[in-house]
Amino acid sequence: MRNSGKFFDTKHFARGFSRSGEFTIKEAQILENYGRTMQGLFEGIIQPQDDDEILFISAFKEGEDIVGNSYSNCWKKYLNKTQRKRSYTLCSTVKNSTSSYDDDDGDSDDILIDD
């Protein structure tokens, strides 16, 4: 795999791949060193030049069950972290139907006056 310069994704990993906690040290190094090449191969912008790059592309073809190399596995993990759809849940708490005002027997108009 050729090195096309450092790869950064400041949108999703502002502090870098190694500090994100999502990737191992080896995966972070692969993304930083070969991420531009992997992105170009994945998007079809550049053509593969060696066996690693051909295996990388074949790992993403539909219908083929090929175990990829460390580059394709790392890129799949990167795509999973950056392209996943986030789901949000609305949570509410159910309050108790009884409150402190319901404790008396309904004689709320009883007033005690000391003479």
Q: Where residue 86 falls among pLDDT bands split at 50, 70, 90?
A: low
Q: Can you tell me the distance from the alpha carbon of 58 to that of 67, in angstroms, rounded to the nearest whole number?
A: 9
Highest mean pLDDT among 1-5, 31-35, 89-93: 31-35
**Does residue 81 form part of some domain?**
yes
**Does residue 98 form part of some domain?**
no
Amino acid at 6: K
Q: Return the residue matching tokens 């219908």.
A: 63
Pick from 55, 54, 13: nearest CA to 31: 13
- Count: domains in the chain: 1
Find the domain containing 13 and state its range.
Answer: 1-85
**Does residue 112 form part of some domain?**
no
Q: Return the residue matching tokens 């073809």.
A: 61
Q: Can you tell me the distance from the alpha carbon of 54 to that of 37, in angstroms, rounded to the nearest whole number?
A: 12
**Does residue 92 form part of some domain?**
no
Which pLDDT score is estimated for 58?
A: 87
Which pLDDT score is estimated for 107?
A: 57
**What percentage of the chain has pLDDT greater than the value 70?**
69
**Does residue 95 form part of some domain?**
no
| 44-59 pLDDT tens trace | 999 999 988 888 888 8
